[in-house]
Amino acid sequence: MINTLETASPVSKRYFLDSSFLKDPEEITREYSAINETVKDIHKSGSTVNLIFSYISDLKEILGTIEKLSSGDTLDDVELFEIKSFAFISEAISNSIHPLNILIPRVESMKQVIEILDPDRSGSKSFYIFDSYSEELARIRRELNLNPGNTSLYNSSLLLEHQIRERICSELKVFGKNIRDNYLKIIKLDILISKARQIIKQKLCIPEISKEMISFKSLFNPEVEFYLLQNGKEFQRTDIDLTNGVLLITGSNMGGKSVLLKTLALSQILCHFTLGIPSERAKIMLFDSVSLLTGDDQNTKTGYSSFSSEIIRINDTICRLKKGERLLALIDEPARSTNPAEGSALAESLINILSEIGTVSVVTTHYSVTTERCRRKRVKGIIDNKMDYSLVDEQGYEVPKEAINIARVLGADNEWIDNAEKIFNERKHI
């Protein structure tokens, strides 16, 4: 999602990557309203937005130069060129931003800065110590052209140029803060427009910030959907509601449980960075952090088995929750890599603890967990040889037994699977 956020200037992308995980609901709501208005503006006055976006594409990293100017240093020609180019970008944006919504940062005019750096009023962004800055300089340069190589003339021209630079910089210094403010506003504007464009392009939605629930209508995973579409397939979207407490999801293998957890984590993080959410409608609660425990962290180098590394990570989550951290806990098949008798006990106990703490959490499992302290959903599973990924309410404790079937669909060796089925059926009768 970050890679598909296309800012006009690479500078803004860097600022976005450096931005922090927002937690303040008001700040997030305010930010999303501005994005919402930008989306509307793109639909209403797309050409204006495109024009502004193209101006921003010339924006370069010049904060160092601005700081130098503000601190009273004398800039060299290259740095003055940077300031002048920036002033022209500001001016162009400020002149065209009026049709857009008031929530969008107002870039101010830099006319006075341009007047200092463009003494000939040429309207060109190029810069040097122009002849028009000083009659004496112009005279010396004319003489130099007639006597090329005259060192004393050349040195006095350099001295004069330096004095002019000092004068210009002291005149510009008072605008230091305005230039800096404008610079940051333009970066903000760039990020805003690129977020809005991403929402339109990838059909994302702007979430509503809620205090008590997380709810998605037609949630999808943009990455998985992209690969499926490439192969001419479609991503089956999911509706899901979460409140404080544990939601236990069961279902056959390959039922999309892990993808669902990853998508929930992604959407949550996107919300804290005020990016569009991959669903049709979304309500999101805010947390301090997201704890997504999925995959196998077995590491032969550190000596951690699948089981031990998983226990360490789950334990870390529990400790953080107990300390009062507000976490969205998304745990994929806890204690999966040990025997079912103890594994299911560990899973059940975890559900009890999470429910006790009361945070929003989603746990998936293949174990038959009997605790009452969670809501239950099940992936519909294979119907007519086709996987239905939608979630349905589950009342009983039994989990689907479709592993052998799925292994067969995957084309596993017949002897192996037939024999497994036989063993399974014999055990059922015992």
Partner 1 sequence: MPFIKDILKHRSLAVAGMEKNTGKTECLNYILERIESKTLKIAVTSIGVDGESTDIVTSTSKPEIIIKEGIYYATAEKFFKTRELVSEIVDLDYYSTAAGRVVTSLAHSAGKVILAGPSESSALKSWMNRLGRERGIEHFIVDGALSRVSQASPAICDALILATGASLSISVNTLVSKTIHLTELIKLPATESLSETKADNLPNGIYSINGSEVVTLFSGSVFNIDGESLKIIAKESSIYLCGVLSDRFIERVKCLKEINIKNLIIKDFTRIFLSPENMIWLDHIGIRLEVVKSSNLLAICVNPVSPSGYTLDSAQVCDLIAERSGIAVYDIYRLRDEIKKCY
Which residues of the shown chain bind partner 1 in the complex (CB under 8 A)? 60-61, 76-78, 81-82, 85, 124-128, 141, 144-145, 148, 154, 157
Q: Which is nearer to partner 1, 144 or 353 (CB)?
A: 144
128 vs 227, which CB is nearer to partner 1? 128
Q: How far is the CB of 208 from partner 1 (least distance, A)?
A: 41
Structure token digits, residue 303: 């000596």
With a CB cutoff of 8 Å and minimum separation 6, the contacts of 23 are 272, 286, 287, 288
For the chain, how far is it from start to end, CA to CA, in angstroms?
51
Please report how close the Cβ of residue 84 comes to partner 1 at its closest, in angstroms.
Answer: 9
Q: Which is nearer to partner 1, 128 or 416 (CB)?
A: 128
DSSP character string of 281-316? EEEE---SEEEEE-S---BTTTTB-HHHHHHHHHHH
- What is the smallest separation between the CB atom of 81 and partner 1, expressed in angstroms? 4
CB of 182 to partner 1, least distance (A): 19
Q: Give the Cα separation of 134 and 156 in Å (integer).
A: 13
* Lookup: tokens for 70: 């503000």
Side chain identity, residue 408: R
- Ramachandran area for residue 19 (φ above 0: left; ψ -120 to 50: alpha; else beta): beta
Helix (H) or strand (E) holding 53: helix 46-56
CB of 131 to partner 1, least distance (A): 8
Please state, in angstroms and rounded to a whole number, the distance separating the CA atoms of residues 396 and 398.
Answer: 6
Q: In this complex, which beta carbon is closest to partner 1, that of residue 148 or of residue 324?
A: 148
Which residue matches tokens 């951690």?
A: 304
**DSSP code, position 212:** S
Least Cα distance to 72 among 175, 149, 225 occurs for 175
**Which residue, 59 or 259, has its beta carbon nearer to partner 1?**
59
Least separation in angstroms between CB 12 and partner 1: 14
Burial of 415 (0-12, 13-18, 19+ CB in 10 A): exposed
CB of 52 to partner 1, least distance (A): 19
CB 49, min distance to partner 1, A: 22
Q: Please, which residue, 116 or 204, has the CB nearer to partner 1? A: 116
Diameter of the chain measured on Cα atoms:
111
Q: Which is nearer to partner 1, 58 or 239 (CB)?
A: 58
Give the burial class of 155: count Cβ atoms within 10 A of its Cβ; 0-12 exposed, 13-18 middle, 19 or more buried: exposed
Structural tokens at position 68: 């130098």
Q: How far, CA to CA in Å, does 328 sit from each of 87, 264, 293? A: 45, 9, 11
CB of 69 to partner 1, least distance (A): 16
Tokens 């107002």 -> residue: 106
Question: Shortest Cβ distance from residue 126 to partner 1 (Å)?
Answer: 4
Nearest C-alpha neighbor of 91 from the set 70, 75, 113, 119: 113
**Residues contacting residue 317 through CB under 8 Å, at least 6 positions apart:** 291, 293, 327, 329, 331
Q: Which is nearer to partner 1, 133 or 287 (CB)?
A: 133
Q: For the CB of residue 63, give the shortest distance to partner 1 in the complex, in Å.
A: 14
b/e string for 354-364 if b means 16 or more Cβ within 10 A? bbebebbbbbb
Nearer to partner 1, 82 or 402 (CB): 82
| Closer CB to partner 1, 83 or 321, in the complex | 83
* CB closer to partner 1 out of 38 and 157: 157
